[in-house]
Amino acid sequence: MKWFFNELKTIYKIDILRFRSKLFLFLFNIVPEFYVLKIFKNLLLKLSGVNLSLLFVYIKNGLYFDNAKSLYLGKGIFINRNVSFEGLGNVFIGDSVQIGPNVQFLTTNHKDRTKDEVADIKIGNNVWIGAGYIILPGSEISGNVNIAAGSIVKGKILDGNLWAGSPAVKKR
């Protein structure tokens, strides 16, 4: 019986953290997108558990994440509307990254009905990601890379060029 109550305590702690995270995310998304409110909105994200700088990050409404503590944002980042960070893996985003609207960072993949594959996503510095981009678990993008709109990336992109397509291939 003691084991059962210990399990309940663990579940309760996880639920409290998840509730706090979702509450501050909800508040972030209902605050208007005025530039003067940027620091307040970033504070709401920080309170939810996201690792970010209060001054050098600008994120528009429509943000979604499963796990705030697994999101690490560098300085000088712009994230457009309706960007989602889904899954249980970590997402590391470097400095001076621009992310277009409707981009999905997926860190969990369902290999079969009984087991999930969880892998981190890493984005380097000075990366531009176009609208509608999808990045799959385990992907890594080095610095000075442009990803065209509508691309899908799985794996490593290691040089500073333009990548486009599904799957993304080097264009120039």
**Residues involved in catalysis:** 110
Quickly count: other Cβ atoms within 10 Å of residue 35's Cβ.
Answer: 8
Burial class (CB in 10 A: 0-12, 13-18, 19+), 151: buried
Q: 137 vs 35, 131, 151, 152, 162, CA distance in Å?
A: 32, 19, 15, 11, 21
Q: Concatenated DSSP letters for 37-91?
A: GHHHHHHHHHHHT-B--SSSEEE-S--EES-GGGEEE-SSEEE-SS-EEESSS-E
Query: Which residue is listed with tokens 């040089």?
Result: 159
**What is the strand order of the sheet 71-73 is part of?**
71-73, 91-93, 121-123, 140-141, 156-157
Q: What is the DSSP letter of 8?
A: H
